[in-house]
Structure 1
Amino acid sequence: MDFIMSCVGFAVGLGNVWRFPYLCYKNGGGVFLIPYLLIVFMGGIPIFFLEIALGQFMKAGSINVWNIAPLFKGLGCASMVIVFFCNTYYIMVLAWGFYYFVRSFNAILPWSTCNNTWNTPNCIEIFRQDDCQNGTIGNSSFGNLTCEELAEGSSPIIEFWENKVLNISDGLDQPGIINWEVMLCLMATWVMVYFCVWKGVKSTGKIVYFTATFPYIVLIILLVRGVTLPGAYDGIMYYLKPDWTKLGEAQVWIDAGTQIFFSYAIGLGALTALGSYNRFNNDCYKDAFVLALINSGTSFFAGFVVFSILGFMASEQGVDISKVAESGPGLAFIAYPKAVTLMPVAPLWAALFFFMLLLLGLDSQFVGVEGFVTGILDLFPGKYYMRYRRELAVAVCCLLCFIIDLSMVTQGGMYVFQLFDYYSASGMTLLWQAFWECIVVAWVYGADRFMDDIARMIGYRPFPWMKWCWSFITPCVCMGIFLFHLINYKPLTYNNVYVYPWWGEVIGWCLALSSMLCIPVSVVYKLFRANGSIREVGWDTSPSQGTPGRTRTPDPPRTGPSQAHCATALPRRK
């Protein structure tokens, strides 16, 4: 059960709540589920299962697991680079959420009024439709403007976000000063992550149950509250209303594929690390389907929560739902905070939402850091074992990420954050990683050989569909979406207004290529360093330490996530 809970905590994250509902609404409502479910079965589940099974069979982290094909060990390095970048920038969302959570403990929410030091003279307080029609909105001189026109004004929500939280500068070349309040929230978040990961089972055995399940309780509470609000039905219908013409648009299929690879946490190496702590005969095939159902089901369920509340906000302000529908940070830090200000007992609903946001992100961060640390520790044989090497590795990882994060709590920090988000762990990098994982397992190591290995573990052969996907279908899906991303690449902007300078684009592409080039560079390096012909070296798939999963040299027992993260966990390499 621990393995299931950990994978739920890692894979079910912020994207399920703030990205999937918006994509569903944007891409034809209920019609979006058709391409989404097709790609789940053609790409999501096969790679999800592949990574877990590979880790369970090899009993190794994201680097050593590729001993099945030593020539392609760069795949492990690539996943380590990607998950390191994710650990670095993802936690910023938690820091912002923590800041909002703390500021929610006020009788009057600080983002609901225009009489604060960070507000501008153009600030228009949050209004209801009746206020708009009666001309009673505070801090504004609006004459005969309509509610729709007033909704376009400068709201205290946006001013709190941009002027107080971000204190944003005019561009990437103007980093400015550090926002000390947000920096303290960032530091507190990293401290929480460290003390929940440093001892493995000793420090996370019970925490993962709470962080993985409590967000569902909050979602249910928010849903019950949301559907009782006026306008909720219209919001839900907006979310589900089918637009069949969307099925003919390529972008709909691309959005479905990209969302699946993001939400299933594919290509990061953390799933491999989690699988490596399972006992050898754990039924990871069944686990993969259960986790896929939970992941996608959570995404769909969250849409009802989000759009019931957005429908209420649109109804209260007399505007169309399209005017308030947001995705990503726009939903978490602008749309939802705006909605709760219109509810009775607003601080309670704000605190609940941001606490849920914090927990959704924290358990994903736990496993991301665990996956990175597991890969690092796997590089050191047992003879180099040190008593406190795990604690030291976690501390170095957290400290290094925190130092990099300091650039994201400056006035130009949002521009840095977007560079990491758009390039370092983008759809292109994950799709590239997933494509090569399928190719190496299916065509270098051998799909039939791997199916036999899985049968040794779980006692039966999975349905042949998995083998067909690894060999043909999933690589085609990955490469198709990858090429679409590449062909339709658009330079990064902020709010569709600020265009990044050329050197900012260069930094972004360096972040992306730092992981993508690990694979071809490592192949070329090994070919030049190895003895024998290219053919002999290229197709040498013999694991370097004996038969996978059976005769590996045991390492000293570790106190990693062996019980906090895995179902029937035993000490690794037994």
Structure 2
Amino acid sequence: EKGMTGKMDPSNGLNRPMDIVPNTEEKMKDRGQWSNKLEFVLSVAGEIIGLGNVWRFPYLCYKNGGGAFFIPYLIFLATCGIPVFFLETALGQYTSEGGVTCWRKISPLFEGIGYATQVIVALLNIYYIIVLAWGIFYLSFSFSWNLPWSSCNNTWNTGVLIYKRRVLRISSGIDDIGKLHWDMALCLLLAWIMCYFCIWKGVKSTGKVVYFTATFPYVMLLILLIRGITLPGASRGIQFYLYPDLGRLVDPQVWMDAGTQIFFSYAICLGCLTALGSYNKYNNNCYRVVELQDQGQFVCVESLVTAVVDMYPSVFRRKNRRELLILAVAIFSFLMGLIMLTEGGMYVFQLFDYYAASGMCLLFVAIFETICIAWIYGVDRFYDNIEDMIGYRPGPYIKYCWLFLTPATCFGTFAFSLIKYTPLKYNNEYVYPWWGYTLGWLLALSSMVCIPLWVIYKMGTAKGTLRERFYELATPSPDLPKTRREQEKLQVVFAADEDSPHQRGAPTKDGYFPVHEKESHC
């Protein structure tokens, strides 16, 4: 920290630079911080190997032209993925706030962005962990001498049908929910127990867990890769999978799939990166993490819990209150997820996956995130904040992405997804009843309406003319960390007042000198 200004003043009791004071020590002690930079890097690196990449990306790559799919994927990565990834991480580090209160401090008018992200995360927590329950169910079979999918001597016949007839035991439709599979419910319970104990102590426990959870999957994938490429016919399989079909690039659906997959791959617009960044020290080089580029389920839960705790610190920053909140989230999500472990649960799961946390919702949030930072808060001001944190100014490319490329690309993809919308069909065969599609759209709108409804609510309850209301609500919170330039302006004002620091008295804990009122001669 000292290298940033070279000027320290112990009189404020913080051992922080006088001209840049991001937070009080009391608050940082209450919220907690990563023990070191490696814990944050591993937490973010774990996002890369989440289910969005291991489970979803290979399917989209094969579906959309093999190797040709990398062309739109990399374009969206450069114009949307990396810029928004950096924006959310830097925002969390600068404000030291969760996914809702960070936007409240940047611009009260756009606090609805935070609520939208947390609605998506809450829905994601309900259904995304179901995939982990399936994995645990398969793992339990692996401890038997004879793997059930290696023969046809089963009640569900061939090993190919084990997923449909043994794991899912699927019914004829969503209107035939059927009975609950208690063996799968136990797997889901085990998944939530592991998730709870990974984050129940906040970054103290999460920071230690990531040493294993962020590295072990890479080791396992490397082992599987080596095993895969040494199997007979591996070269033909790889060629069949990755051979580029450039003709698919003229299909707009390919570009839409690439754009939405970027958001799943890097957990963008979910508040996860903001939550992880908020536990960084103020001068951590968050830009370097972009150059690195889901810890999975527990990072999503951590994002939601961090947002709630920061919204109500007086309630949840007491002894054991945070642990009880995590327990409540886990129990609620577990109970809600049980419906997806019934005979008709797969149809409900598909509704959540297609609508609740769809690329359409994430693109909508990304549009307003970039508009708020670049045009309302001010892209140059945010660059000043980043320079204060990391010690240098990032290149101009990301700034122009925030201003133009990212919102334009996201809006174009979002508009196209509406124009080319096709109703969900399970396995491209089963057509949902009308109320099923209605439920799906309600899930999608539950997050997107948060942004416009919050703007309407704040503008309607504020006082003054329309212009005065907008100006007041677009103004950042005064307790945000001050940049060097802002502190220099304050020093000029103090110098003009011809007061010395000793005459003004000791600085406050926030690093400012008290201003005495002048005698009025009016």
Smaller-chain TM-score range?
Answer: 0.7 to 0.9
State the match for 1:52 in structure 2.
Answer: 89
Deviation at 1:383, TM superposition (A): 7.4
Select which of 52, 58, 78 maps to 2:116.
Answer: 78
1:374-432 Cα deviation digits (max 9, x unpaired): 00001114477421111011011101101101111111111111111111100100000
User: How far apart are the structure 2 equivalents of 1:381 and 1:543?
Assistant: 20
User: How far apart are the structure 2 equivalents of 1:473 and 1:539?
Assistant: 26
SS in structure 1 at match of 2:296? helix
Structure 1 residues 381 and 197, CA gap change in structure 2 (3 angstroms): closer
Deviation at 1:274, TM superposition (A): 0.5
Letter paired with 1:78 = A
Deviation at 1:28, TM superposition (A): 2.9
> In the alignment, is the contact (CA less than 8 A) between 1:57 and 1:549 conserved in 2?
no
Select which of 279, 286, 289 maps to 1:287.
Answer: 289
Are positions 1:180 and 2:182 aligned together? yes
Are positions 1:481 and 2:483 aligned together? no
Deviation at 1:472, TM superposition (A): 0.7
CA RMSD of aligned residues (A): 1.9
> In the alignment, is the contact (CA less than 8 A) between 2:315 and 2:321 conserved in 1?
no
> In the alignment, is the contact (CA less than 8 A) between 2:177 and 2:343 conserved in 1?
yes
Q: TM-score, normalization: structure 1?
A: 0.75
State the match for 1:467 in structure 2.
Answer: 399
User: How far apart are the structure 2 equivalents of 1:549 and 1:406?
Assistant: 48
1:325-368 Cα deviation digits (max 9, x unpaired): xxxxxxxxxxxxxxxxxxxxxxxxxxxxxxxxxxxx6x311111
Letter paired with 1:544 = S
> In the alignment, is the contact (CA less than 8 A) between 2:43 and 2:207 conserved in 1?
no
- Unaligned 5+ segments in structure 2 are 1-37, 484-509, 512-522
Deviation at 1:36, TM superposition (A): 1.6
State the match for 2:228 in structure 1.
Answer: 226
Select which of 58, 63, 67 maps to 1:26.
Answer: 63
> In the alignment, is the contact (CA less than 8 A) between 1:178 and 1:411 conserved in 2?
yes
User: How far apart are the structure 1 equivalents of 2:212 and 2:301?
Assistant: 18
Structure 1 residues 478 and 533, CA gap change in structure 2 (3 angstroms): same
Letter paired with 1:177 = K
> In the alignment, is the contact (CA less than 8 A) between 1:12 and 1:264 conserved in 2?
no
Trace 1:139-154 onto structure 2 (pairs within 5 A): none
1:304-324 Cα deviation digits (max 9, x unpaired): xxxxxxxxxxxxxxxxxxxxx
State the match for 1:357 in structure 2.
Answer: none
Structure 1 residues 544 and 22, CA gap change in structure 2 (3 angstroms): same
Trace 1:44-443 onto structure 2 (pairs within 5 A): 44-66=81-103, 67-117=105-155, 119=156, 123=157, 155-158=158-161, 160-291=162-293, 363-382=295-314, 385-443=317-375
User: How far apart are the structure 2 equivalents of 1:59 and 1:364?
Assistant: 22
State the match for 2:475 in structure 1.
Answer: 542
User: How far apart are the structure 1 equivalents of 2:221 and 2:206?
Assistant: 23
> In the alignment, is the contact (CA less than 8 A) between 1:444 and 1:539 conserved in 2?
no
Are positions 1:451 and 2:451 aligned together? no
User: How far apart are the structure 2 equivalents of 1:209 and 1:507?
Assistant: 40
Letter paired with 1:494 = Y
User: How far apart are the structure 2 equivalents of 1:233 and 1:27?
Assistant: 20
Deviation at 1:289, TM superposition (A): 2.0
SS in structure 2 at match of 1:101? helix
User: How far apart are the structure 2 equivalents of 1:381 and 1:185?
Assistant: 34
Deviation at 1:20, TM superposition (A): 2.1
SS in structure 1 at match of 2:333? helix
Deviation at 1:481, TM superposition (A): 0.9
Structure 1 residues 49 and 533, CA gap change in structure 2 (3 angstroms): same
> In the alignment, is the contact (CA less than 8 A) between 2:316 and 2:322 conserved in 1?
no
Letter paired with 2:138 = Y
Select which of 32, 38, 53 maps to 1:16.
Answer: 53
User: How far apart are the structure 1 equivalents of 2:107 and 2:318?
Assistant: 29
Deviation at 1:116, TM superposition (A): 2.0
User: How far apart are the structure 2 equivalents of 1:41 and 1:440?
Assistant: 20
User: How far apart are the structure 2 equivalents of 1:246 and 1:385?
Assistant: 53
User: How far apart are the structure 2 equivalents of 1:448 and 1:5?
Assistant: 30
User: How far apart are the structure 1 equivalents of 2:394 and 2:49?
Assistant: 25
Deviation at 1:535, TM superposition (A): 1.7
Structure 1 residues 57 and 549, CA gap change in structure 2 (3 angstroms): farther
Trace 1:484-563 onto structure 2 (pairs within 5 A): 484-540=416-472, 541-544=474-477, 546-548=479-481
Deviation at 1:18, TM superposition (A): 2.5
User: How far apart are the structure 1 equivalents of 2:315 and 2:218?
Assistant: 44
User: How far apart are the structure 2 equivalents of 1:439 and 1:428?
Assistant: 17
> In the alignment, is the contact (CA less than 8 A) between 2:98 and 2:307 conserved in 1?
yes
State the match for 1:560 in structure 2.
Answer: none
User: How far apart are the structure 2 equivalents of 1:163 and 1:21?
Assistant: 24
Deviation at 1:265, TM superposition (A): 0.7
Any runs of at least 4 consecutive aligned residues in structure 1 with deviations exceeding 4 A, and if so which?
none
User: How far apart are the structure 2 equivalents of 1:238 and 1:288?
Assistant: 32
State the match for 1:129 in structure 2.
Answer: none
Give the total of aligned pairs.
447
Mean Cα displacement is larger for which, 511-520 or 31-40? 31-40
> In the alignment, is the contact (CA less than 8 A) between 2:49 and 2:217 conserved in 1?
no
SS in structure 1 at match of 2:400? helix
> In the alignment, is the contact (CA less than 8 A) between 2:360 and 2:417 conserved in 1?
yes
Identity across matched positions, percent: 56
Letter paired with 1:231 = G
> In the alignment, is the contact (CA less than 8 A) between 2:181 and 2:341 conserved in 1?
yes
SS in structure 2 at match of 1:461? coil
1:255-275 Cα deviation digits (max 9, x unpaired): 211111110111100100110
State the match for 2:491 in structure 1.
Answer: none
Mean Cα displacement is larger for which, 173-182 or 18-27? 18-27
- Unaligned 5+ segments in structure 1 are 124-154, 292-360, 551-572
Deviation at 1:543, TM superposition (A): 2.9
User: How far apart are the structure 1 equivalents of 2:69 and 2:351?
Assistant: 28
State the match for 2:28 in structure 1.
Answer: none
> In the alignment, is the contact (CA less than 8 A) between 2:47 and 2:265 conserved in 1?
no
Letter paired with 1:225 = R
User: How far apart are the structure 1 equivalents of 2:135 and 2:317?
Assistant: 38
State the match for 1:5 in structure 2.
Answer: 42
Structure 1 residues 105 and 384, CA gap change in structure 2 (3 angstroms): closer
Letter paired with 2:439 = I
> In the alignment, is the contact (CA less than 8 A) between 2:39 and 2:208 conserved in 1?
no
Structure 1 residues 258 and 280, CA gap change in structure 2 (3 angstroms): same
1:440-472 Cα deviation digits (max 9, x unpaired): 111111111111111111111111111111111
